[in-house]
């Protein structure tokens, strides 16, 4: 997204999108240990204020989760950057599954690092809004599906990466099975206290790395 595109869409020229505000966020992420330059660049250029309601747009470049309605939140920039880093380390990403489109913000960041993303959302209204935003930003390698991600997406498997933006109590077995060999699943686990894990599928089985304590909205089954 270049500046002329932002100007043309009216996404530029207001204080909240100023380069300085975004630079401050990037500096903060670097302080917190995000070091992948391409990921930092993606966070700098995806207009996060575009993914929240106008009333909250002035807070869009704070490093915090914000409400997007229906009891859900847009993920904190730090966690979006961290999960993206974790997913793209290692082999290149061809096909990625995201569970929990929400506002579409994480999807927009991730879209720069994968050939194709399928993103599932169980709340129709959120999905529709996300679709409009991604379309306006001309992001064309994302397919949105209104579906319950508890069972993954068998007809598109295997995936090189799976990212869950909501926390189940345990890792759904289907998600493990839908990983390609060498594929990575980045997922928060737990009901009250949640922990972020990266699980890599190897020839022999699965390797699980604990990353850090996190807070996510709960992973729910069924459609809404």
Q: Tell me which residues are annotated as active site.
A: 75
Which of 166, 126, 173, 150 has its CA nearest to residue 221? 150
Tell me the C-alpha distance between 123 and 125, whole Å: 6
Site for ligand SAH in 64-103 (CB under 6 A): 72-75, 99-100, 102-103
* HSE-up (13 A, CA, CB side) for residue 64: 8
Tokens 């730090």 map to which residue? 78
Interface pick for ligand SAH out of 121, 129, 159, 175 (rule CB under 6 A): 121
Quick check: 175 binds ligand SAH (CB under 6 A)? no
Site string for ligand SAH, 5-44 (x = CB under 6 A): ----------------------------------------
CA dist., res. 195 & res. 70, Å (int): 24
Q: Which residue number, 20 or 134, has a Cβ lying nearer to ligand SAH?
A: 134
From 42, 110, 126, 144, residue interacting with ligand SAH (rule: CB under 6 A): 126
> Which of 158, 35, 31 has the alpha carbon at shortest distance from 86?
35
The answer to whether residue 220 forms part of the interface with ligand SAH (CB under 6 A) is yes
Which two structure tokens, joined as six digits, stand for 211? 């990353």
If the CB atoms of residues 40 and 186 are measured against ligand SAH, the closer one turns out to be: 186
Tell me how far, at minimum, the Cβ of 148 lies from ligand SAH, in Å: 5
Q: Exposed, middle or buried by CB within 10 Å (0-12, 13-18, 19+), for 165?
A: buried
- The helix (H) or strand (E) run that includes residue 98 is strand 93-99
The per-residue DSSP string of 127-160 comes to HHHHHHHHHHTT--SEEEEE--GGG--GGG--EE
Binding mask 130-169 for ligand SAH (x = CB under 6 A): ------------------xxx--------------xx---
Q: How far apart are CB 110 and ligand SAH at their closest, in Å? A: 9
Q: Using CB under 6 A, list all residues that contact ligand SAH.
A: 72-75, 99-100, 102-103, 105-106, 120-123, 126, 148-150, 165-166, 217, 219-221
């Amino acid at each position: 997204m270049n500046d002329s595109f932002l100007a043309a869409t009216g996404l530029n020229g207001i204080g909240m999108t100023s380069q300085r505000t975004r630079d401050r966020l990037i500096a903060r992420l670097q302080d917190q240990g995000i070091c992948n330059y391409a990921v930092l660049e993606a966070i700098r250029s995806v207009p996060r204020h575009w993914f929240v309601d106008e009333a909250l747009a002035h807070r869009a470049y704070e490093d915090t989760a914000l409400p997007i309605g229906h009891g859900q939140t847009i993920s904190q920039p730090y966690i979006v950057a961290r999960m993206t880093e974790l997913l793209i380390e290692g082999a290149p990403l061809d096909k990625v599954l995201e569970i929990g489109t929400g506002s579409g913000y994480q999807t927009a960041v991730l879209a720069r690092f994968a050939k194709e993303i399928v993103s599932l959302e169980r709340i129709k209204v959120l999905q529709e809004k996300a679709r409009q935003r991604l379309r306006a930003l001309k992001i064309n390698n994302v397919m949105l599906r209104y579906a319950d991600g508890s069972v993954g997406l068998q007809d598109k498997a295997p995936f090189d990466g799976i990212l869950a933006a909501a926390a189940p109590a345990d890792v759904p077995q289907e998600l493990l099975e839908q990983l390609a060999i060498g594929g990575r699943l980045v997922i928060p686990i737990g009901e009250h206290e949640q922990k972020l894990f990266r699980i890599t599928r190897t020839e022999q089985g699965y390797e699980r790395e604990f990353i850090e304590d996190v807070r996510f909205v709960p992973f729910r089954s069924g459609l809404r």
